[in-house]
Amino acid sequence: MTAATTIERPNRWDHPFDLTMRDRDLEWILSLEPFSSMDRDRFTKSSPLVDIIRNDARVNRYETGDIIVREGEYGSCAFIVLQGSVRVIVTSLPIGDLGGSKPKTVSLWKALRSSLMNYSVAEVRKIAQGKDHAQASLAATSIREVDDRPRIFLQDVDAVLKDCESEPLGPGEIFGELAAITRSPSNYTVVAEGPVVLLEMRWQGLRLLRRDPNFQAQLDRRYREASLKTQLRETSIFRFIPPENLEKLSDATQLRSYGDREWFADYRETKKLDVQEKIKAEPLLIQEGSPANWLVVIRSGFARRSYQHGHGHRTISYLGRGQMYGLQELIHNVDVGVHEDQLLPYQESLRGIGFVDALLIPRREFIEHALPFIRNEERTKPIRQPRYDAHGPVVETAEAKSNESNLDPALLEFLVDNRLMNGLQAMMIDTDRCTRCDDCVRACARTHEGNPRFVRSGPQFDRYQFTQACMHCIDPVCMIGCPTGAIARDTESGVIAINPETCIGCKVCAESCPYSNIMMVEIHDARGHKLVDRESKLPILQATKCDLCQSSPTGPACQLACPHEALVRINLSNPIELQEWIRRKAA
């Protein structure tokens, strides 16, 4: 039993993105823009440009009309046009044209068998033994992947392109990098017009490429333009604004980033701070009482809406991607038609929670170009009892303003402080119903080869425990820094899963997860022998986490298995939804 199978510790680039990449292709790629103009000395010894392209990139061919990037898709790759040209369709297409592919579920029979099976050892892996072996096995799989991925293409490209607005992209141009880097779903659809050759670069590689200043600059420029327009377009109340106005608007718009993009790193420290301290530590976007000159639109990350209450701040709500702040004040000022120097200032302050990426639209431009095109029913009501007027705080009229989702403010605070609003599929347990029977854990273990994927404990507010299971965050920080891209977001379901084939157990994800919902586990081979590193003789670990039972046809087993309806997978980024559930369950 003590006999352990020793293997070579897996390394970064053990599993290159594309095995079939030949040196000739490499030569050719390097001869093209933007690589040809890159300064190779900028790159480190450990990761020279060549290796980056060899390992983190792959060449793909697309035929006319093939959809390369689908709008709303979580991409983890940037695309660089090598040959031919593609069209970026900025107006959103009906999803029917884009063709949604089904989430891959195993057959009922297989699921049945595995759930009936008794696992004497947990976490059995078919881990590759040695490099060649790995290549052999993976070569096979990569080929299958190519076959597996159905190429959805538009029946009549020209027709589609005719009625919708699109921008052409030629050789050397790059797209999809925003989605890749900001771990955000793509804003646009990209279609191949005529046969094209693309270089797919996974975002780990992309980050390395940014060592080259020109490339960096190019990225930033595009980042501002492309994302900005689409962002504005995406904003629902702007949808009736004619393009030229939008143009003007976007020119005037300022783009600001607050806080640290890698917010989770110091989150652990700030978490320990006292609540007020915490808020103080947060980057301030807007100070309450300051003149309302901007309309703020959250691009990514989160912002906390709060107001001074006693000696502290009371959170009203948190703004996520696409939500805006200041609209009420601006519209109030216009509708009430007060005099220039009697304008109402901002009523609440806005603070970045960790990292916030916001658009600031100047007041005048907004009133001029945007406001006329906002539907009346979408205009906010005038403010009756202002907390601040032109002369400063209004004394003693300020009663606790109830937040939109009249959710208990304390709970709201709690969610924000623990960054729980990040969760799209968070696990919440009503401890007044939960009998600690652990059926959820058992169910999880059964659906995951004998080892559960979460621990039935975690931060608790009142009767609600926010259990330590992966929340499949809006902002999946765990995906940052995975050297092999083993942890990835499923493009359809948005579920973040770890691919055991390519996980090398580097613990990056486990450590970067602010909620420590990713666990490193010792793995075994089919005979139940613990796998141990050949040199260090240390057991080989792999990261595991909740995968929302993607493979099972009946969805998350934990929720299904709870005999007391105490457990729910819920979207915490939407307080309304949470409130709904709490109201229904409050019995």
Distance CA 562, CA 550 (A): 18
User: 260 and 355 in contact (C-beta within 8 Å)?
Assistant: yes
Indicate the residue among 108 and 159 with the shorter CB distance to another protein. 108
Instruction: State the minimum distance, in angstroms, from the CB of residue 495 to another protein.
Output: 17
Residues facing 532 on adjacent strands: 6, 539
Torsional sign, CA 182, 185, 186, 192: positive
User: 377-406 burial string, b = 16+ CB within 10 Å, else e?
Assistant: eebeeebeebbbbeeeeeeeebeeeebeee
Indicate the residue among 2 and 376 with the shorter CB distance to another protein. 2
Tell me how far CA of residue 32 lies from CA of 35, 224, 368, in angstroms.
6, 25, 45
Indicate the residue among 62 and 267 with the shorter CB distance to another protein. 267
Indicate the residue among 367 and 532 with the shorter CB distance to another protein. 532
Under the rule (CB under 8 A), what is the footprint of another protein? 1-2, 4, 108, 111-112, 115-116, 118-123, 431-439, 441-443, 445-447, 451-457, 460, 463, 465, 468, 516, 519, 521-522, 528, 530, 552-554, 557, 559-565, 584-587
Q: What residue type is 165 in one-letter code? A: E
Indicate the residue among 256 and 463 with the shorter CB distance to another protein. 463
Q: Is 65 left (phi over 0), alpha (psi -120 to 50) or beta?
A: left
Indicate the residue among 277 and 565 with the shorter CB distance to another protein. 565
Distance CA 408, CA 405 (A): 9
Longest alpha-carbon distance in the chain: 84
Instruction: State the minimum distance, in angstroms, from the CB of residue 54 to another protein.
Output: 36
Instruction: State the minimum distance, in angstroms, from the CB of residue 555 to another protein.
Output: 9
Q: Which two tokens stand for residue 200?
A: 């797919």
Name the percent of the chain in helix, strand, coil, to the closest 5. Answer: 35, 25, 40
User: 111 and 443 in contact (C-beta within 8 Å)?
Assistant: no
Instruction: State the minimum distance, in angstroms, from the CB of residue 417 to another protein.
Output: 15
Instruction: State the minimum distance, in angstroms, from the CB of residue 572 to another protein.
Output: 19
Indicate the residue among 88 and 557 with the shorter CB distance to another protein. 557
Q: What residue type is 485 in one-letter code? A: G
What are residue 515's phi and psi, to 5 degrees?
A: -105, 5
Indicate the residue among 2 and 44 with the shorter CB distance to another protein. 2
Instruction: State the minimum distance, in angstroms, from the CB of residue 244 to another protein.
Output: 50
Distance CA 505, CA 543 (A): 6
Indicate the residue among 7 and 561 with the shorter CB distance to another protein. 561
Q: What residue type is 422 in one-letter code? A: N
Instruction: State the minimum distance, in angstroms, from the CB of residue 127 to another protein.
Output: 16
Distance CA 524, CA 300 (A): 40
Instruction: State the minimum distance, in angstroms, from the CB of residue 271 to another protein.
Output: 10
